[in-house]
Amino acid sequence: MNDTAKKKERAVLAGLSASSMDEAERSTEVSMEELAQLVDTAGGEVAAVVLQQRQTPDPRSFLGEGKVAELKEIVANSGCDLAVFDNELSPSQLRVLSEELGVKVLDRSGLILDIFAQRARTREGQLQVELAQYEYLLPRLTGMWTHLVRQTASGGSSPIGTRGPGETQLETDRRHIRRKIQKLREELEQVRKVRSVQRRRRERNAMPVVAIVGYTNAGKSTLLNTLTGSDIPANDRLFDTLDTTTRRLKLDEAQEALISDTVGFIRKLPTHLVEAFKATLEELQYADVLLHVIDISSEDMARQIEVVEDLIVKLGAGTTPCIRVYNKCDRYLGVLPRGEDTVCISAKTGEGTAELVRKIAEILGRESRRVTLLLPYDKAGIADTLRREAAVLSLDYGEDGVTVRAVVKPELWGLVREYVQDDGQT
């Protein structure tokens, strides 16, 4: 799908509703509304929606035979260019549906990957999307070729010139994609190493890190702009930010922090996409504070919070201090949430952001900090104190003293502040 001035592709959406219970029906409805937004974001338009109520997908064609026939008729009558399914399809289901419907078939994962491919701007983002695309393609390619080989082999020996070349092409394509995957993983490993060096520099500078997370289109980029006076593009569309952006945030007269925007989360986010974006998302593990931006005006707010917090835990940042930042409060007429680490704001107008900055400074003041120190040998007693009262990560003995990497509690900060290494970089 192309987000250009060309004629928009028309799509029919398809999904399953597992239950007629009100809550389950609403969940399906929200998921399909989100799928329609994804189609719009990718540059298409929705012509029709088809739902089938059944507990489990049909193993052959996802939808039942009768519903597939109904879908085929809708595709023909509405002039649709593609069918988009709300769940991930198996390679064989994708093949069967493509044959039955006679149009391009995408599942939710394929659609999200298409959007990511459009939006990635930096080399790192492009590498991560490309890796996810190849990992998504490999099993589907295999399924398509397996079908071809079975088809040509049915009824005994294959016609001359079909079976052999088909298998050869399958293996050629497999090898090509596996080589590409390996190369991309190696390049992304270099990206991780660069990020690791950057983190160590931040540690030497004792610069705390704040990471903004949240559901896609919750207002993360707008918040970053408001807090830092930046002009990062912040549009009202899904996955507008894929590439991490970092700025300085002034907390008070004496303290600054680095604050980063991250890719937005969404329900049913493809596993291989999360894995491919690990180089970016693992930054959450090293943040001192997370800002979980929540769209309080969303009818699906509770489910969106659950999706984000589950992913935070899976990414290894479940124990990081987190402030729930309820955004778009200027649009909300209900009772506002209250709590120790809860703030209600409008990123657009700036309302509540001063309180948010105070809350960030307060948490940073009470939390431990990861630092690199250079202790002269005549201050060896400080190293002994750190061994007892801090988490020492490494000790390196050099000509000028002992280099100590440690996680230091606030009450020890006065003892070590003057020995923090500073190379003038952030």
Cα dihedral 291/292/298/301 (nearest 10): -150
pLDDT score of 234: 64
Domain borders along the chain are: 9-116, 121-190, 207-366, 369-419
9-116: what fold?
Answer: Rossmann fold (3.40.50)
CA distances 39 to 81, 83, 179, 249, Å, are 12, 10, 31, 35
CATH of domain 207-366: 3.40.50.300
- The 10s digit of each residue's pLDDT in 130-160 is 998 898 888 887 544 444 444 444 444 443 3
262: Cα separation from own chain's centroid: 8
pLDDT at 277: 73
Least confidently predicted of 57-61, 164-168, 221-225, 291-295 = 164-168
Binding residues for GTP: 214-221, 239-243, 261-264, 327-330, 346-348
Task: Give residue-wise pLDDT tens across range 172-228.
Answer: 888 888 999 999 999 988 887 887 777 666 655 557 889 999 998 899 989 999 999
- 265 conformational bin, left if phi > 0, alpha if psi -120 to 50, beta if neither: beta
* More confident of the two residues 236 and 386: 386
Residue with tokens 């300085």: 248
Torsion angle in degrees (nearest 10) through CA of 219, 224, 230, 232? -50
Quote the pLDDT of residue 148. 43
Same fold flag, 9-116 and 207-366: yes
Distances (CA, A) of 125 to 51, 196, 242, 321, 377: 34, 17, 7, 27, 44
- Binding residues are 214-221, 239-243, 261-264, 327-330, 346-348
Please tell me which residue, 235 or 405, carries the higher pLDDT value: 405
Write out the binding residues for Mg(2+): 221, 241
CB 63 within 8 A of CB 89: no
pLDDT single digits (tens) 1-17: 654 456 788 999 999 98
Q: What does the pLDDT read at residue 286? A: 80
pLDDT confidence bin for 312, thresholds 50/70/90: very high
Span of 88-92, 130-134, 226-230, 235-239 with lowest mean pLDDT: 235-239
